[in-house]
Amino acid sequence: MHRILSLLSLLALAAAPRLLEAQGSISGTITDTYTAAPVAGVTLSVVGTALGSATDSAGRYTVANVPPGTQRLRARRVGYAPADTTVVVRQGEPTLVNLRLRPSPFELNPVVAIGYGEQAKGTLTGSVSAVSGKDVQSVPALNLSNTLGGQLPGLVTVNPSGEPGYDGAIIRVRGSHTLNDNSALVVVDGVPDRDGGLERLDPGDIESISVLKDATAAIYGSRAANGVILVTTKRGRSGAVQPPQLTVTMNQGFNHPTRTPKMADAATYMTMLDEIDMYRNQTPRYSADVIAKYRQGGDPWLYPNTDWFGAVIKPMSYQTRGNVALRGSSEHIGYYLSLNGLTEDGYYRNSATRYNQYSFRSNIDGRITDHLSLRFDLTGRLEDRNFPVRSAGSIFRELMRGKPNLPAYWPNGLPGPDIEYGDNPVVIGTPATGYDRDGRDYVQGSLGMEFKVPGIRGLTVRGNASYDVRFRSQKTWRTPWTLYTWDYKTRDADSQPVLQAAQRGYSTPQLNQFDGRGTGTLLNLVGEYRRQFGPHTVGVLGGLERQLADSDYDSAFRDYFTSAQIDQLFAGGDLGKTNNGTAWVAARQNYFTRINYAFRDKYLFEFVGRYDGSYIFPAAKRLAFFPAVSAGWRISDEPFFRDHVPLFDDLKLRASWGETGNDRIEPWQYLPTYGFGGGYVFGGNQVVTSVFPTRTPNPNVTWEVAKQFDIGLEGRLLSNRLSFEFDRFSERRNNILSFRNASVPQTAAIPLPRENIGVVANSGYDGSITWRQQMANDVSFQVTFNGGYAHNKILFWDEPPGAPPWQVATGHPMNCPNQANQRCDPRAAGMYYVAIGIFKDSAAVANYPHWAGARPGDIIFQDVNGDGKIDANDMVRIDKTGDPTFTGGLRLAAQVKSFDVSVFFHAAFDAVQYFRTESGDIGNFTQEYAQNRWTPDNPNAPGPRTFNRQDEYWVAPQNPNTYFLRDASFIRLKSVEVGYHLPAHLAAGLGVHDVRVYASGYNLLLWDRFGVVDPETRDSQGQYYPQQRAINLGASVTF
């Protein structure tokens, strides 16, 4: 046996040179069509193989070991239109192929990511939108989710906060679809729902982002109904020789809020308090003389006029980002390595808020043999989140309420009195109150394999295994702080006010600690067969996948620390100490397939299906099948069209239909669950914990199912300068979990579970249109407009009977919270009294039905049902919500020689936000409200009179009305970037390949009707951390 093996080995070694000699090669030079200059860095590939190369500085290339026969050679380079050509390679002979590339900064038929693969957009039959990493980077936001709004048709984003670490956008694909969670599925490098999502990925690492918007997302099955976002990170490429490129990018930014509310000054606020006293028939608390002194502002000790926002928020905060990336490839190895860091300061003066992030990425591709390739990815990220112990909502609540006739700081620099609960915002936003440190660490690894089965042309087997682990450690140390008060009488010998120091906040230091850990595992195996038989192209893909996740945490609390110098649990007191902990698990398993057929790439057909299993449902309902079909017709390839309509370069009609699922609901609803109560004491000293049921189980709980239809038209015309894409879509979502609010009266006191009874429809359109123009060899521009409209309505939920038609929710849009992982509540959705004006005088009150106790200056509620009285039956349902129904974007980009510029506008329309401040005795009014208010001297004012807290019927929370419902539509200059590349000879003189310097801005201008705060706020009282405006200066150096 040993001799036989030795003989076989010798024969193989002897045959190897002959086998290599039997291969051919392709070589040549790539030049510019207009200048005939050699083009370096062009990637060449032999289509259907892993063979490739890249041009050197002289434009020369060689692709070795090419099998004899007819091959297709493809050349690509950023800034040039791709070129393909057919090559006949002869056995053992070199083949010379010289190509000319036409300058074009535009990719006409890009390859986009789809489920478990990628495909040229020209042959897609589904609705897929994509954005390049370059366009993502042009929006200088620190949170990746904030770069996407307005970039992709059909993608709806709302950025409700600018707080560092919590500044992510809420993302919806084609609006809202369900009464439950409307979040899209995010897939990062093939791993669904990867810990950390997409928000904290570094934009410099992004190759592209694709959005699957229609039923063809069914290949992701149970989590695809709300749309799928595919994030692809950068890689090298084995088999195509690319010299290593090291790029170092540094960026220094300066940020501040897009808008802070302008509040009433001291004199105005005091006047309004006097008006409240007048309406109460009480003596005004401030005389005209005192108010005049506050208006004059002569003595800051006695008559302050405090701008609380100015006292707390500094003019400019700093943010810094750096990135080092190495990318290249050889014949057998491709690599992309990056190291990233950023730091972002908070808005507050002496801010305790700061976000730091450090990350690395290593994507390695290796070609082991002509048949076997491996991929190993490893990424890690450390998020260091630092906050004051009071939340941003609490701090901005005190800012909104800050009374301008009280000092933030006394003239000697000491902090003034509190507004409430010991909170003075100039102090509680600083480290003086302790700290809240939240550290989150992620380590994520993937090992992939691709094997081209020898002897079966076109058959490939791919496997992937990923393992993610995350850690979170949060420590909140709360310490008392000191504020100073003055009785406005006591002075020292030098007539200086004597301030009294007082401890505020906590009586003793307190400590909370939280430690958690979670893991995620994914295993999949995919087989794909793709062959071309003459005019027929056939593709069959099948795979199986298993995904597991688990998490656990422990927490502890102690109070009564004897010293604020020791922030460790052991130093706390035993009284009131607590500890807690819990864990959870998740599992999914599925089988999926995709079948493609194309005839001459003109008639296109695709079927996808997924058999999905989810831990969320009972065993009998754990599995479900989600199919989808789609087809396309490239009309421009038909002779009757091509010969008679030469205007079009490409025109494709496509359509899709299918079912997708949604299992984004609370798990274990089919099981009875129990909680622990406070317990009972037996025998005087024996405490026994009590147990009580927390939920009535629903053994029939099952999937939400979305039936989706989409028809689209896309094309290019006028020599590929004008391109467009338009989709019309509709969806019917069945089996939505909802409570039976009407079938059983509340008096029955039966806690029913949610059941799969809801039905919601969603429909609309989206699309884009682009004009690309190459003016000269080094001058080009591009204009792209995209937009989308989505409108949903409830077709069925168990609505209580007897409501008047104008209050019925069925047939009207859902009112969905603008927060992830929250469900809609149709019962409270958009019910308002209609404000039709202000009572000018007593006669106006007497002449129209009114709320009991109404007086001049109050808001007039419309008598909707005409019964001569105002009550709950006059509330109407408003169809607008916090989700804009139309969103769009306009991108203008140009390149002139060494200069490049990009301008991006983002727009959203038909969104509303309720906005009414806490004002009166409790706090200040906005300047807008003060200027518009009714007074006896100004009875024709557009706004109501001064109110106090919730005393008036028209500010009471149980009586929402349309006067306070603000239009949240906007047009925003989202970003501007201007860059300049140093001339090549200057860069070479510095010993580098390229140098680019740039300046950029984010959220620079805003046009809206809201006017008081940023229209993307989803807080009804302005008590939130405002969105960010930023100016950046940066440089990128490539070696």
In the chain, the largest separation of any two C-alpha atoms, in whole Å, equals: 117
Name the architecture of domain 20-101. Sandwich (2.60)
pLDDT at 19: 37
In contact, 760 and 706? CB cutoff 8 Å: no
Query: What is the rounded CA–CA span in Å between residue 628 and residue 660?
Result: 8
Residue 1: the pLDDT is: 42
**How does pLDDT run across 23-71, given as a tens digit for each residue?**
888 999 999 876 677 887 788 888 877 688 888 878 899 988 888 888 8
| Confidence at residue 692, expressed as pLDDT on a 0 to 100 scale | 85
Contact 392, 400 (CB under 8 A): no
Query: How do the domains of the chain map onto residue ranges?
Result: 20-101, 111-236, 666-700
Residues 6+ apart with CB under 8 A from 838: 857, 858, 859, 860, 934, 941, 942, 943, 944
- Is the distance from CB of 380 to CB of 409 less than 8 angstroms? no
* Global pTM value: 0.88
Residue pair 202/338 in contact by the 8 Å Cβ criterion: yes
Mean pLDDT, 10 residues at a time, over the chain (1039 residues)? 42 38 82 78 78 82 88 79 85 89 67 83 89 92 94 94 95 93 93 92 94 93 91 81 89 96 98 97 96 92 96 97 93 93 97 97 93 95 97 97 96 94 95 96 96 93 97 97 95 94 94 97 96 91 96 96 93 93 94 94 94 92 93 92 88 96 90 83 77 88 94 93 96 92 68 90 97 85 96 90 88 70 59 96 96 96 96 93 94 93 96 96 97 97 97 96 96 96 89 93 97 95 96 95
User: What is the three-class DSSP state of 406?
Assistant: coil
Placement of tokens 């974007």 in the chain: 889
Identify the residue whose tokens are 């089988």: 591
Contact in structure between 53 and 61 (CB atoms under 8 Å): yes
The C-alpha atoms of residue 991 and residue 986 are separated, in whole angstroms, by 9
Region of residue 804 (left: phi > 0; alpha: psi -120 to 50; beta: else): beta
User: At what angle are helices 288-296 and 266-279 packed, to 10 degrees?
Assistant: 160
For residue 324, what are the β-bridge partners? 248, 339
Q: What are phi and psi of 465, to 5 degrees?
A: -130, 130
Q: Residue 712, exposed/middle/buried by CB under 10 A (0-12, 13-18, 19+)?
A: buried
The answer to whether 228 and 221 have CB atoms below 8 angstroms apart is no
- Beta-carbon contacts of residue 119 (< 8 Å; ≥ 6 apart): 111, 112
Q: Which helix (H) or strand (E) holds 267?
A: helix 266-279
Q: Any bridge partners for residue 1034, and if so which? A: 251, 998
Going from the C-alpha of 852 to that of each of 282, 500, 793, 841, 861, the distances in angstroms are 21, 47, 35, 16, 12
Q: Does domain 111-236 have CATH number 2.170.130.10?
A: yes
Fold match between 20-101 and 111-236? no
Rounded to whole angstroms, the Cα distance separating 568 from 585 reads 31
Bridge partners, 904 (sequence order) = 891, 975
Q: How far apart are CA 760 and CA 753, in angstroms?
A: 20
